Amino acid sequence: MKAMVLKEISATEKEPLEMEDLPKPAPGPKEVLVKVSACGVCHTELDEIEGRIQPKLPIVLGHEVVGRVEGFGSGATKFNVGDRVGIAWIHSACGTCHFCRGGNENLCLEFKGTGCHANGGYAQYTVVSEDFAFPIPERFSDSEAAPLLCAGAIGYRDLVLSGVKKDQILGLFGFGASAHIVIQVAKHWGCEVFVFTRSQEHRTLAKRLGASWTGVPDDQPPRKLHCAIDFTPVGETVPRALRVLEKGGRLVLAVIRKRDPIPPLDYAEHLWDEREIKSVANITRKDLQDFLPLAAEIPIIPEVQDFPLEEANKALVLLKQGKIQGAGVLRMAH
Ligand SMILES: [Zn+2]
Ligand SMILES: [Zn+2]
């Protein structure tokens, strides 16, 4: 099978993924073999390529995988051949540690990430435990479904953890793939949304998707934010967001790693009055099970830009430059 493989940590601009011919993977016990049709590109891949999070090397990246079940390992019974499934960042969790038992399998001591600790979807085929494959609602095309699996589902987790309620003001810092899905869920819940981004194109998209105010990150919004989500890799966004956060408000940090340090915070200006900061790590199966049907019901139809698998490097560079409108998705030819 064709796969785009990362062999060493590198700058994304050096286009380090190499097209290789790998053996088609064989599904192990309780695993399914998935013929991949689409795989989203995600900021987490930039973190892996550039070494801010450490993948097992060599690795096939990609954790927004959509395809059809083509084969089974022993004891796999949940799906039929031809079923359309998605695979997300959570590739496996132990099921027995205190985090797993408490419903926080995203924090599992043995958490494994798709396309990080196990080969992912930048390839024609992949394998996954049937317990970590999710049915894709009919109404989405393969490309549309891909960003729902990470940008969408993690955005949903960010939104839930922000604690935002109906009629409250939610601030979004950065307006990429995840934020443009989050705004649609937040509007569905009856929240008001303010969007802060440097990109004029992204501000226009935000307005179209229902933002009642948009500006650049340093702008003063007309009212303070009850909750905010920071999708940017920029450390400085943290004090900027805290400065416009209402008393008792919570700022959720959605990225796995910041590209640069968070500047020193001033306790009185940024944190006093019960302001909170919370990071979001990984994702649970429940997030996906809750979000995918909700996305179909609203419905959320992500904006996508397709690239052939061979152009994975180009898609990643454009992602890093913030030049993809909505979500980038790799398409596999078979
Ligand atoms: Zn992702
Ligand atoms: Zn566990």
- Each residue's pLDDT tens digit, 8-55: 999 999 999 999 999 999 999 999 999 999 999 998 999 999 998 999
In the chain, % of residues over pLDDT 90? 94
CA of 246 to the centre of ligand 1 (A): 29
Of all ligands present, the nearest one to the C-alpha of 106 is 2
CA of 239 to the centre of ligand 2 (A): 34
Amino acid identity for residue 218 in this structure: D
Q: How far is the CA of 211 from the centre of ligand 1 (A)?
A: 24
- Judged by its nearest atom, the ligand closest to the C-alpha of residue 40 is 1
At 259 the pLDDT is 87
CA of residue 123 to ligand 1 center, whole Å: 16
Q: What is the pLDDT of residue 322?
A: 84
- Phi, then psi, of 184 in degrees rounded to 5: -70, -40
Q: Which amino acid does the sequence have at 113?
A: G
pLDDT for residue 325? 77
What is the spatial distance between Cα 155 and Cα 134, in angstroms, rounded to a whole number? Answer: 17
Cα of 45 from ligand 1 centre, angstroms:
7
The alpha carbon of 101 and the centre of ligand 2 are apart by a number of angstroms equal to 7
Alpha-carbon torsion, ordered 102, 106, 107, 108, to 10 deg: 80
Residues whose beta carbons lie less than 5 angstroms from ion ligand 2? 93-94, 97, 100, 108
What's the gap in Å between 266 CA and the centre of ligand 1? 32
Indicate the Cα dihedral angle 188, 237, 302, 206, nearest 10°. Answer: 70
Measured from the alpha carbon of residue 48, the closest ligand is 1
Reduced to 3 states, what is the DSSP secondary structure of residue 207? Answer: helix
Predicted structure pTM score: 0.91
Q: Per-residue confidence at 5, pLDDT binned at 50, 70, 90?
A: very high
Q: Is the pLDDT of residue 73 over 80?
A: yes
Name the strand (E) or helix (H) holding 178.
helix 177-188
Q: For residue 69, how far is its CA from the centre of ligand 2 (angstroms)? A: 26
| Res 301: pLDDT | 85
176 CA distance to ligand 2 middle (Å): 31
Q: How far is the CA of 159 from the centre of ligand 1 (A)?
A: 16
* Rounded-to-integer distance, Cα 86 and Cα 149, Å: 7
Residue 326 has a pLDDT of 76
Please name which ligand lies nearest the alpha carbon of 109. Answer: 2
Residue 133: partners with Cβ closer than 8 Å, 6 or more residues away: 32, 34, 69, 78, 79, 85, 86, 87
Cα 94 to ligand 2 centroid, rounded to whole Å: 4
Query: How many angstroms does the Cα of residue 206 sit away from the middle of ligand 2?
Result: 38
Q: Which ligand is nearest to the CA of 149?
A: 1
What pLDDT is recorded for position 132? 98
> 189's torsion region: left (phi>0), alpha (psi -120 to 50) or beta?
alpha
* Cα of 114 from ligand 1 centre, angstroms: 10
User: What CA–CA distance (Å, rounded) separates 52 from 2?
Assistant: 27
Distance from Cα 178 to the centre of ligand 1, integer Å: 9
Residue 10, SS3 per DSSP? coil
Query: Which residues are paired to 20 by β-bridges?
Result: 3
Residue 303 pLDDT grade (very low, low, confident, very high; cuts 50, 70, 90): confident
Q: Which residues share a beta bridge with 84?
A: 68
- Ligand 2 centre from 56 Cα, in Å? 20
Nearest ligand, measured from the Cα of 100: 2
Binned at pLDDT 50, 70 and 90, residue 328 comes out as very high
The rounded Å distance from CA 267 to ligand 1 centre is 32
Strand partners, 255: none
pLDDT given at position 157: 97
CA of 182 to the centre of ligand 1 (A): 14
